[in-house]
Structure 1
């Protein structure tokens, strides 16, 4: 893989441990509206979607559309839950603080909620002003539009970007944009077989911790040097005792 000039981070499930919160709220809202759904079913339906694809997925599954105002009510409930519960993914602040490569966020979440979540978790300063939402493009993930927008705004060719994703739709969108992508499977929402699903969508490698991703990025930024030479001098990210590799769960 070419050394990345830009690392594009998904937000939910990669920067913040929010997917499980969102799935719980989604399940509660579905049941209240007469659409029976367990937490696992809500995860399956909602992971990596935006409002449009979520609405389409529900209509396809239940044979009827969501009631008017459903998405707005769900967003309000999710934002309230975030205020109480939202936390950054363990190790992400350390990784971002040590990463000397340009970075941005590309998320299917609406821009207002995206910035709010990053502010709550104190991660926004690591990315400002390079925060991109599906609300800025015609099509969110799994279409490539959002990734291509991020690359265009930062003037980096797609093949010189590296995407970090936790969802099949995100991996699909990154690959459609011509970008290499690695997977993160360390969020509270990840279940057995998650890495295999990401791999089937085109993810080249999956990791369970940010320390592993830090080691991978350090090696990718400075290929050809020894581990001792490249890590402290180029990125400041140290290799953990347990090296990076494909996830087996």
Structure 2
């Protein structure tokens, strides 16, 4: 873990999926199952290397808005996805995440001990964020301060959703700290001028995720929510 100098922080901004909600593994499983069905039959029946590459490619892009992820995966694997495919995949992923999601272990108890005002800055839609937070008993902690890059039309890695969260507090970005689990999200916070801690507690490959988040600009990476109060106090 990399340490940082003390600076005055007054507000906390959290990504949603993978930080508050343990939905990344659900999304990864559903996306892989859906997209693998578009691979040529000969590839699926082969040595499995393409399916492994597909799984890895999806994992690396979690945190992107789903349509952007689908654009890149379709191009990389020549899947030929059409508009109805996008609609179907989005619907299946959203439904699975809404119906199966659980809170990240320890996050409810930890956030209750942190006295900073809190906001959400996510690439998911407001409807999906609201449903997930409500299901997991987290909505009240963030109500009135939930921001969606999807609904703004300028998703991460653009800085807009993090800037909107800071503006919602009427706080300078430099006095905020972000918690994000994806390269896309870390780059967004950095571009907004907001310090960012990377979180890998529910990552598919924790070591690889740590390297990527640090390379993207996270000033430290942690894997257990119980560590967060101490890190913020430091």
TM-score band by shorter chain is: 0.7 to 0.9
Deviations 1:13-43 (A, max 9, x none): 1001110100111111112234764433321
Matches of 1:41 and 1:131, distance apart in 2: 29
TM normalised by structure 2 equals 0.86
Partner in structure 2 of residue 42 of structure 1: 58
Partner in structure 2 of residue 25 of structure 1: 30
Deviations 1:88-132 (A, max 9, x none): 111100111111101100000111111111111111111102111
- Write the mapping of 1:194-205 to structure 2, written as runs, cut at 5 A: 194-205=209-220
In the TM superposition, residue 79 of structure 1 has moved relative to its aligned partner by: 3.6
Matches of 2:74 and 2:213, distance apart in 1: 25
Q: In 2, are the aligned partners of 1:55 and 1:65 still within 8 Å (CA)?
A: no
- Specify which of 155, 168, 178 is matched with residue 193 of structure 2: 178
In the TM superposition, residue 168 of structure 1 has moved relative to its aligned partner by: 0.5
Matches of 1:58 and 1:103, distance apart in 2: 34
| Range with bigger deviation, 209-218 or 100-109 | 209-218
Give the SS at the match of 1:186: coil
The answer to whether the aligner puts 1:210 opposite 2:225 as a matched pair is yes
Partner in structure 2 of residue 60 of structure 1: 75
TM normalised by structure 1 equals 0.81
Matches of 2:105 and 2:217, distance apart in 1: 25
Give the SS at the match of 1:26: helix
Q: Measured at CA, do residues 79 and 135 of structure 1 come closer, stay the same or move farther in structure 2, by a change above 3 Å?
A: closer
Q: Measured at CA, do residues 63 and 175 of structure 1 come closer, stay the same or move farther in structure 2, by a change above 3 Å?
A: same
Deviations 1:60-98 (A, max 9, x none): 313464222233322332243235532111110011111
The answer to whether the aligner puts 1:136 opposite 2:188 as a matched pair is no
Give the SS at the match of 1:61: helix
Give the SS at the match of 2:13: strand
Q: Measured at CA, do residues 153 and 5 of structure 1 come closer, stay the same or move farther in structure 2, by a change above 3 Å?
A: same
Q: In 1, are the aligned partners of 2:198 and 2:210 still within 8 Å (CA)?
A: yes
Q: In 1, are the aligned partners of 2:64 and 2:123 still within 8 Å (CA)?
A: yes
Matches of 1:129 and 1:72, distance apart in 2: 29
- Of Structure 1 and Structure 2, the greater helix share is in 2
Matches of 1:70 and 1:128, distance apart in 2: 33
Partner in structure 1 of residue 47 of structure 2: none
Partner in structure 1 of residue 21 of structure 2: 16
Partner in structure 2 of residue 189 of structure 1: 204
Higher relative contact order structure (alpha carbons within 8 Å, sequence separation ≥ 6)? 2
RMSD of the TM alignment (CA)?
1.9
Give the SS at the match of 2:178: strand
Structure 1 regions of 5+ residues with no counterpart? 220-249
Partner in structure 2 of residue 120 of structure 1: 135
Q: In 2, are the aligned partners of 1:24 and 1:42 still within 8 Å (CA)?
A: no
Matches of 1:81 and 1:55, distance apart in 2: 17
